[in-house]
Structure 1
Amino acid sequence: MSRAATAAAVAALLAFTVLPVYWMVTSAFDPRADARGANLLPSGFTLDHFRFVLDEGGFGRFLLNSALVGAGTVLLAGVLSLLAAVAVARFTFRFRTAVLVMVLVVQMVPLEALVIPLFVQMRNLDMLNSLLGLTVVYLAFSLPFAIWMLRGFVAAVPREVEEAAYLDGCTWLRMFRSVLLPLVAPGLVATSVFSFIVAWNEFVFAFTFLQDESRFTAAVGLHRFFGQHTNDWGAVMAGSTLITLPVLVFFVLVQRRLSSGLAAGAVKG
């Protein structure tokens, strides 16, 4: 393939990837977003859509709910997946292989197939319309991937390093905190990004489980700007931009450790 053809292919791929983001951001600031049509350039600049979304639309509360659910999912998934990864990588117990296979099987089940069973289970546990219940659901979806990935990192740490820490007088907890945790930190960052994205972007379960508007997450709150006959495209694009910003900031903050974590996981897993 010639350089010109390669450049054209790369340009087309970039345009296909970047154009939706460009359209979303520019429409959020376009005072005539509803009548923009196919114009690539916005008609002007305004912050009215953001003011409407945050003030009248109550989107600040939705963003806070998503942040609480996302933070809870990341923290719980990080702690539980790391402890589970240590258990399956370091300890020998009955049905260990079966546990690993079941974790992998759960990862393969389509999420849509679990909506009704989880709804019934959350209803029986009296956890519907609750951010805690939604966090537990997202935690269940995040754990299989997190356990599989962190297992590779834990298994790659030589046992001799842990034994040397014991010889120096460390307890298991001190060895875990001072020796094992720093070595698997890149993998923990990678799994945290995955857990955060799952909790922040998910719509189906949040829309099904939450009935009280004050508990809506950002993805469900965005749905309020879609009408039966007309859509407020300025508000929709402004809300979409606000939803995108936290994920983008979080990714920029951890991208260095994320890159090293994914590369190390690919080699060590």
Structure 2
Amino acid sequence: MTVPPTNLGPAARLNRPASPRASARLGPAARLRRIALNLAALVVLAVSVFPVYWMVITAFKPTTEIQSETPGFWPAHPTLDHFATAMSADGFRLFWRNSLAVTLGAVLLALVVALLAAFAVARMRWRGRRAFILMVFIAQMAPWEALLVAMFIIARDTGMLDRLSMLTLIYFMITLPFTIITLRGFIAAIPPELEEAALMDGCTRAAAFRRVVFPLLAPGLMATSLFGFITAWNEFAFANALIIKSQDDRTLPVWLSSFGNVFGTDWGATMAAATLFMLPVLLVFLVLQRRVTSGMIAGAVKG
């Protein structure tokens, strides 16, 4: 028999969610506070998005509109000439491939190593486990730019200067601590009873991980790989310091920093090159959007 809401105890009535009518009867102070928060969110959104918007529309504007004293918030005569100029520039396709190869290599290495380390930290109990976790957190908090001189000396003494393989290893080290920390949360959120049930059904630990844990980790792997991709794709300092003589091994951020010097005041081509540089990350995010959202939610709690 269903108990009428009027017969519920005081605690139950307090915990009961408010009805739409009750929400509509908010006081003036509450409504004003909600409006202020919404306006603040819109201001933050506008400040964050407007530079990117201005970069994109500038890439589509003719040079006469870019140099006009009256700025326009939409190109009156859109053109693709600046994109053609950027894509036909010396080294664009080569440096784009270099960036993609280094980024994908670093992310894949970080995912493999971090997955094993995160599983050991989240599922096993061993001496030094807490110290290991603390060291990973310290490595994540350390500014990697402070190690630039040390990395340069190591690369010089080992003969790894001007090599994309050295850059891949450095990006791997940069993204590894964050990947371990994030995947540890995802693995901890998966109930260990699922693995135990697979073991009781005759699976080995490796088979239980492959058939049970790994499919459930797919959203977490997508989210982690996206953030690692963004970090490695946008990195500039190490790429600029370690690739000196071999101009063919430069990455896209380094090429983009000198793009304006080649074309002088051609801001349209510069903005088009920056837009093209942003496209891979945007496309990866759009493809993995649903997986990333569910993965971020799943990794936020321990189930």
Task: State which of 28, 49, 52 in structure 2 corresponds to 1:21.
Answer: 52
Matches within 5 A, 1:96-175: 96-175=129-208
Note closer, same or farther for the CA distance 1:70–1:36 as it changes in structure 2 (3 Å cut). farther
Task: State which of 216, 227, 235 in structure 2 corresponds to 1:194.
Answer: 227
Q: Conserved in 2, the CA contact under 8 Å of 1:186 and 1:261? A: yes
* Superposition TM-score, scaled by structure 2 size: 0.82
What is the deviation of 1:38?
A: 5.5
**Would you say how many aligned residue pairs link Structure 1 and Structure 2?**
269
Q: Conserved in 2, the CA contact under 8 Å of 1:186 and 1:260? A: yes
1:39 is aligned to 2:71: yes
Between 182-191 and 167-176, the greater mean CA deviation after superposition: 167-176
Matches within 5 A, 1:1-269: 1=32, 8-32=39-63, 35-37=67-69, 39-40=71-72, 41-42=74-75, 44-211=77-244, 212-227=246-261, 230-268=264-302
Larger Rg over CA atoms:
2
What code does the residue aligned with 1:223 have?
Answer: S
Runs of 4+ in 1 over 4 A off after TM superposition: 2-8
The whole-number CA distance in structure 2 between the counterparts of 1:223 and 1:114 is 22
In the alignment, structure 2 segments of 5+ residues that lack a partner are: 1-31
The whole-number CA distance in structure 2 between the counterparts of 1:182 and 1:257 is 12
Residues 211-258 of structure 1, C-alpha deviations (whole Å, 9 max, x = no match): 222111111110122329944312210111001111111001111111
Between 83-92 and 122-131, the greater mean CA deviation after superposition: 122-131
What is the deviation of 1:193?
A: 0.8
Note closer, same or farther for the CA distance 1:34–1:122 as it changes in structure 2 (3 Å cut). farther
In the alignment, structure 1 segments of 5+ residues that lack a partner are: none
Secondary structure, counterpart of 1:267 in structure 2:
coil
What code does the residue aligned with 1:35 have?
Answer: Q
Supply the RMSD in Å over aligned alpha carbons.
2.2
What is the deviation of 1:4?
A: 6.2
What is the deviation of 1:3?
A: 6.8
**Between the two proteins, what is the percent identity of the paired residues?**
48
The whole-number CA distance in structure 2 between the counterparts of 1:124 and 1:113 is 19
What code does the residue aligned with 2:188 have?
Answer: A
* Superposition TM-score, scaled by structure 1 size: 0.91
What is the deviation of 1:14?
A: 3.3
Note closer, same or farther for the CA distance 1:227–1:34 as it changes in structure 2 (3 Å cut). farther
Query: Higher helix fraction: Structure 1 or Structure 2?
Result: 1
What code does the residue aligned with 1:139 have?
Answer: F
